[in-house]
């Protein structure tokens, strides 16, 4: 897994409401656009781009499908993974099931990791 690149996606999308909205509404096209234009820019140097990073097919699929369990299992940073998907799902879950409903669902879907060491997030 290109953990750095996936984590960069999670971080940049989570901190920009416009990007988060685009990712929520059209994940397939947004992931492609992000990878081709946003993700290629080097942090701290907007004028320079890198071709060294790309998503694997599995990463791309997990991002498109909002598959936070697979992202966690591949070693995406837990906090970045959680906060991005809270940004997408917290309100609809809360309206339907009450406070912290999405966080409980997130924890439940990762319940099979109880008692195990987290996957490594080292890049």
pTM: 0.88
Residue 53 lies in a domain: yes
pLDDT (tens digit per residue) in 39-68 = 877 555 565 556 667 899 999 999 999 999
Residue 121 lies in a domain: no
* Cα separation values, 91 from 56, 71, 110, 112, Å: 30, 22, 20, 25
CB half-sphere exposure, 15, CA atoms < 13 A: 8
Residue 84 lies in a domain: yes
Does residue 104 contact residue 38 with C-beta atoms inside 8 Å?
A: no
Residue 39 lies in a domain: yes
User: What domain range is 34 assigned to?
Assistant: 3-113
Sign of the Cα torsion 2, 65, 81, 43 reads positive
Residue 122 lies in a domain: no
Residue 94 lies in a domain: yes
Stretches in the chain below the pLDDT threshold 50: none
How many independent structural domains does the chain possess?
1
Beta carbons within 8 Å of 48's beta carbon, 6+ residues apart = 41, 42
Residue 123 lies in a domain: no
Instruction: Kindly report the length of the chain.
Output: 123
């Amino acid at each position: 897994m290109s953990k750095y690149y996936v984590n960069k996606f999670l971080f940049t999308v989570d901190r920009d409401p416009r990007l988060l909205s685009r990712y929520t509404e059209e994940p397939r096209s947004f992931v492609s656009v992000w990878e081709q234009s946003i993700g290629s820019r080097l942090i701290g140097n907007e004028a320079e781009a890198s071709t060294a990073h790309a998503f694997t097919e599995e990463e791309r699929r997990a991002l498109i499908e909002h598959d936070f369990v697979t992202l966690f299992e591949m070693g995406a940073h837990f906090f970045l993974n959680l906060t991005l998907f809270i940004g997408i799902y917290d309100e609809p879950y809360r309206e339907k099931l009450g406070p912290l409903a999405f966080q409980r669902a997130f924890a439940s879907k990762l319940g099979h990791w109880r008692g195990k060491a987290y996957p490594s997030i080292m890049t």
